[in-house]
Structure 1
Amino acid sequence: MTPIKPQPRRFTMIRGFHLADFITLGNAACGVLSVFLAMMFMASGSLTHFLLSAAMTPLAFVFDVFDGKVARWRHQHSPLGRELDSLADVISFGVGPAALGFAAGLQGGWDVVVLCYFVCCGVSRLARFNVTAEQLTTDSGKVAYFEGTPIPTSVILTAVLSWAAWQGALGAQLWGGVWQLGPWQLHPMSLLFALSGTAMISKTLRIPKF
């Protein structure tokens, strides 16, 4: 008797995606575009490229809000969706704003350290949320509060950088000037990224989730 061979499962990943997950991919796409546009600004010096790069962060936030609403509306929450959301957030609200900051002129040695710290804080904050979400979930099935500020709050950083760009305060004209600390330079504006990253990983800050 010839054994029956199992049929290959084609397009399993596609079939496992829900509508909300495709909206989440829109979030990730905005993050990637933000990085590309920041690089284009560094090559061209065009303010349009810089402002478009900054605009990708609030647009990603719109996708981030709506993927959750769609998932709740269709009752299609899944571990895949949660992990996908976190990966997209790292790009859009972590790497994207950091790339924009670098393009704006935060290119001193200490600036780079701070930008790396900011992204690592975002990754850590999302990982911590994923593993503690069940403990923070109320009887209604929703997470009651965030420990630390949510990573999408980095949209504030891109807003500040956009305003600086609009005022012509990029590169050597960055607000606050530049400090020489030991072998490397530090622009005081990079401390905004340090503050944002620290707030994200804080365990004492509890932000209600609406």
Structure 2
Amino acid sequence: MSDPRPRPRHFSMLREFHLADWFTLGNAVCGTGAVFAAMRYLQSNELRDLMVGMALIPLAFIFDALDGRIARWRKSSSTLGRELDSLADVISFGVAPVALAWACGLQGGWDWLVLSYFVGCGVSRLARYNVTAEQLAGDDDKVSHFEGTPIPTSLVLVIVLAVAAWQGATGPDIWFGSIQLGPWQLHPLVLMFAVSGSLMISKTLRIPKP
């Protein structure tokens, strides 16, 4: 007796993607490219490699903004799309900025802890949003506000790093220098990641969602 169930087609998951999901994947690809560019800079010491990586983060931001607009335009939002968006944001606005910061010279032991804290805050922020999005949504099923700053605001951190790199302030010449605290070094510039991460996980800070 033959099985009546249809056999899954090759790449069936990709065939089910909506148009907005492809823009979300573009976001993730940009973030991954930024990580690769940061690693390449550490090998080549060519400023061009670092600046290419930093330029990919604004491009990821554009993809991130467009995927939501396209989903609303085509009325094709889905749970899969929301999860995909969060995973892409972790790469482009969580891991990639940290990789670029490390490449710029924020490589002290305390820097490592602060940058790890930032990524942890970003992941927690996105997980909380996914869980509470339905609770925050109004009658039109649209979320009216963010609790804490959205993770794409890390674009501001990348812009600061880009300006510093353009002025040659990387490695030992990083802005504000370094401080020896106990066994490890701390570069004060890394504290902007601590502030950004703390703002992301705030429950009292509410930002209207466009």
TM-score tier after normalising by the smaller chain length: over 0.9
Q: Distance in 2 between matches of 1:6 and 1:113?
A: 51
**Alignment coverage as a number of residue pairs:** 209
| 1:8 matched to 2:7 | yes
Q: Could you tell me how far 1:12 is from its partner in structure 2? A: 2.7
Alignment of 1:83-122 (within 5 A): 83-122=83-122
One-letter amino acid matched to 2:135:
Q
Q: Distance in 1 between matches of 2:116 and 2:145?
A: 27
Q: Distance in 1 between matches of 2:6 and 2:84?
A: 28
Q: Could you tell me how far 1:140 is from its partner in structure 2? A: 1.9
The runs of 4+ residues in structure 1 deviating greater than 4 Å are none
Q: Normalization by structure 1: what TM-score?
A: 0.97
Q: Distance in 1 between matches of 2:87 and 2:17?
A: 15
Q: Distance in 1 between matches of 2:159 and 2:166?
A: 11
Task: Output one character per residue of 1:54-76: Cα deviation in whole Å (capped at 9) or x when no partner.
Answer: 11111000000000111011100
In structure 1, runs of 5+ residues without a counterpart are none
Q: Which residue of 1 aligns with 2:186?
A: 186
Q: Distance in 1 between matches of 2:69 and 2:5?
A: 38
One-letter amino acid matched to 2:54:
A
In structure 2, runs of 5+ residues without a counterpart are none
Task: Output one character per residue of 1:1-37: Cα deviation in whole Å (capped at 9) or x when no partner.
Answer: x253533212331222111001100000000000000
Task: Output one character per residue of 1:149-168: Cα deviation in whole Å (capped at 9) or x when no partner.
Answer: 00000000000000001111
Q: Is the 8 A contact 2:134 2:141 kept in 1?
A: no
One-letter amino acid matched to 2:6:
Q
Alignment of 1:149-188 (within 5 A): 149-188=149-188
SS at structure 1 position matched to 2:185? strand
Q: What's the Cα RMSD here?
A: 0.9
Q: Which residue of 2 aligns with 1:203?
A: 203
Q: Which residue of 2 aligns with 1:147?
A: 147
SS at structure 2 position matched to 1:126? helix
Q: Distance in 1 between matches of 2:102 and 2:161?
A: 11
Q: Distance in 2 between matches of 1:4 and 1:41?
A: 55
Q: Could you tell me how far 1:87 is from its partner in structure 2? A: 0.2
Q: Could you tell me how far 1:141 is from its partner in structure 2? A: 1.9
Q: Distance in 1 between matches of 2:26 and 2:15?
A: 18
Moved more, 133-142 or 102-111: 133-142
Q: Which residue of 2 aligns with 1:80?
A: 80
SS at structure 2 position matched to 1:77? coil
One-letter amino acid matched to 2:199:
A
Q: Distance in 1 between matches of 2:69 and 2:3?
A: 44
Q: Distance in 1 between matches of 2:186 and 2:145?
A: 35
| 1:48 matched to 2:48 | yes
Q: Could you tell me how far 1:108 is from its partner in structure 2? A: 0.4
One-letter amino acid matched to 1:8:
R
SS at structure 1 position matched to 2:116? helix
Q: Normalization by structure 2: what TM-score?
A: 0.97
